[in-house]
Structure 1
């Protein structure tokens, strides 16, 4: 009797995120950070050169491009993304939110979620980028040096305290209760406000970023949660950086 071929394992899903503490900003401030980010991402990979306003229709004809970035348009999107209780006033300390994507197809799409201008200590400000799962775009972007450039662009545009890129599967291997700012991904950024990164073991690479912080790149090949050596390396580097006082929660 012929054996049924085993299904190929699903590829890990990766994301990048930049996070920072309480910082009161206006919709115009948020728009300026976003415009800087979009221009810098466009230089990292062709997939990140196209972004569209959120619409009810996915038809190409209905999409309105956000590139090149237009400040009044971006500011208005943030202004619409205020937080409020149903029927109640705006909750100013929770800032503004704006979610949009690049109009790609399933598996070959990038999406940005931004919450900024928040000055509550309950939640961090953040900018997260969902990365493509498969195809030529994933092969290009889920690599060194492209991914460090993406993380660096996000960290610099938002003047983040902490940023990283890793897989969701790796995130799920971390201890329960792990908080934003307290773990290490495939690529990790640490602001100099947190201190200086100590020497780390090979194959880890340390790169300065524009005098603002440091990028820590764990492996030159694609980091995966299914590789025990990768997971062990991330755990060891986390222990070293924690001992150096560099991995603290972004919010108290």
Structure 2
């Protein structure tokens, strides 16, 4: 399959409040990974800080911190950024992203988009997708093209939160575990537990026709359900304590099981230093087949306690 129009790698995830420094670290890891894919150090720069290499952690943190400082009116919506680079193996490569958003509005989502053009764009597709998945931990990601998105607009409408099948498609472990049988010939399994669909051994990118057929067959699958809206915070917001909602010293993990509604597991009294151990104790008894359409109920049950939310995400 020859793609003359260039290719796009896109990764999306639900609400996730992250600090500017953590997002900067993700960005540096991603840009460094892209340099490795292309085979040279690309001059990544920001419009807000032209001529300054973003692969330097200090520079990346400066750019992201400034973006968050300027976004005081609606910090829950995250910040948008655009970066450009060039090189000898690609005639043009650019990144746009909206990150750090944690609004409960189902229309809001975080995402990173990479576009590249030039000689043999297909050779870069798999490595770029895997770097994106590793650095940003998306709920799903794909490599796509204008022709594919146009051809599959009826099956995969733009703006829908469900994963979209692309020339290549990445799914994290939680989704990979509930994929239907019969896809082994299309799967590349990653060390993280996730999978890339369309890049099995000896295989290449799916054609538009192949992607369309796969999209129609996978659309009803639980693996392609809407992006989960649970808030994943890497660090607790100011003022959040270590107790569950209600302040009774009990750490609760809210599980969402199809047909069973909300089920709650309790660990007893656990101080914040023991939260990881509590998560480990709960993990083996969790049904990992979750009904993400009930996730907002879980968020309500949890209140907005960051520590408890961490446990729910780890065990679920």
More RCO (CA 8 Å, sep 6+): 1
The residue aligned with 2:148 is 170
**Do residues 233 (structure 1) and 210 (structure 2) align?**
yes
Q: Note the aligned Cα RMSD (angstroms).
A: 3.0
The residue aligned with 2:45 is 53
**Which secondary structure does the structure 2 equivalent of 1:249 belong to?**
coil
**Do residues 242 (structure 1) and 230 (structure 2) align?**
no
Within 5 A, what are the aligned runs for 1:99-178?
Answer: 99-103=82-86, 108-120=91-103, 121=105, 122-132=107-117, 134=118, 138-139=119-120, 141-143=121-123, 146-176=124-154, 177-178=157-158
CA distance in 1, matches of 2:22, 2:47: 24
Q: Is the 8 A contact 2:5 2:146 kept in 1?
A: yes
The residue aligned with 2:58 is 72
CA distance in 1, matches of 2:216, 2:45: 41
**Which secondary structure does the structure 1 equivalent of 2:218 belong to?**
helix
Q: Is the 8 A contact 1:83 1:95 kept in 2?
A: no
CA distance in 1, matches of 2:212, 2:182: 12
Provide TM-score, normalisation by structure 1.
Answer: 0.75
**Do residues 216 (structure 1) and 197 (structure 2) align?**
yes
**Do residues 182 (structure 1) and 163 (structure 2) align?**
yes
Post-superposition offset of 1:218: 6.0
CA distance in 1, matches of 2:205, 2:145: 10
Post-superposition offset of 1:80: 2.8
CA distance in 2, matches of 1:104, 1:81: 27
**Which secondary structure does the structure 1 equivalent of 2:91 belong to?**
coil
Post-superposition offset of 1:158: 0.7
Range 242-251 or range 180-189, more displaced: 242-251
Structure 2 gaps of 5+ residues are 230-316
**Which secondary structure does the structure 2 equivalent of 1:40 belong to?**
helix
**Do residues 41 (structure 1) and 41 (structure 2) align?**
no
**Which secondary structure does the structure 2 equivalent of 1:78 belong to?**
helix
Q: Is the 8 A contact 2:163 2:224 kept in 1?
A: yes
Structure 1 gaps of 5+ residues are 1-9, 224-229
Post-superposition offset of 1:55: 4.2
Q: Is the 8 A contact 1:18 1:127 kept in 2?
A: yes
Provide TM-score, normalisation by structure 2.
Answer: 0.61
Deviations 1:2-27 (A, max 9, x none): xxxxxxxx922311111111100011
Change over 3 Å in CA distance of 1:56–1:35 after alignment to 2? closer
Count of residue correspondences: 219
Q: Is the 8 A contact 1:192 1:213 kept in 2?
A: yes
CA distance in 2, matches of 1:160, 1:94: 17
Q: Is the 8 A contact 2:141 2:170 kept in 1?
A: yes
Q: Is the 8 A contact 2:168 2:205 kept in 1?
A: no
Post-superposition offset of 1:241: 2.4
